[in-house]
């Protein structure tokens, strides 16, 4: 299951005005209510990388999901939408 920790890097987010934000994962159910649940995101491999790496994640159930990756300035550098199965998925990330 996915958990947010500061074991390797500081687990924090920031607003557009640089206010510190709590980090959590929220999924919307087809029934229209929000539920909080756990998922697992795996460290990218290889890490560090030059031009290409893979981001791994596991959803607790098949779902439509969006993965967004931001750099240290808060700029979104990658986004991927899709219908993902209840298996570990490896998405390629290429940086030019």
The answer to whether residue 38 sits within a structural domain is yes
The answer to whether residue 90 sits within a structural domain is yes
The pLDDT, as a whole number, for residue 70 is: 82
Residue 7: CB partners within 8 Å, gap ≥ 6?
Answer: none
| Whole-structure pTM value | 0.52
The answer to whether residue 25 sits within a structural domain is yes
Residues spanned by the domain of 25:
13-94
Beta bridge partners of 52: 94
- Which has more confidence, 79 or 5? 79
Which one-letter DSSP state was computed for residue 31?
T
Q: What is the pLDDT of residues 43-61, one digit of tens each?
A: 788 888 888 888 888 887 8
Q: What is the pLDDT of residues 80-96, one digit of tens each?
A: 888 988 878 888 888 77
The answer to whether residue 4 sits within a structural domain is no
* CB distance 67 to 79 below 8 Å: yes
How many folded domains does the chain comprise?
A: 1
- Tell me the two tokens of residue 80: 């991927």
The answer to whether residue 1 sits within a structural domain is no
The answer to whether residue 40 sits within a structural domain is yes
Beta bridge partners of 83: 64
């Amino acid at each position: 299951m996915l958990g947010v920790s500061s074991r390797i890097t500081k687990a924090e987010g920031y607003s557009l005005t640089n206010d510190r934000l709590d980090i959590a994962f929220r999924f919307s159910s087809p029934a229209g209510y929000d539920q909080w649940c756990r998922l697992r995101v795996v460290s990218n491999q290889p890490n560090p990388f030059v031009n290409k790496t893979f981001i791994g994640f596991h959803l607790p159930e098949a779902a439509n999901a969006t993965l967004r990756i931001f750099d240290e300035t808060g700029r979104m550098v990658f986004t991927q939408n899709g219908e993902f199965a209840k298996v570990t998925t490896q998405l390629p990330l290429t940086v030019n």
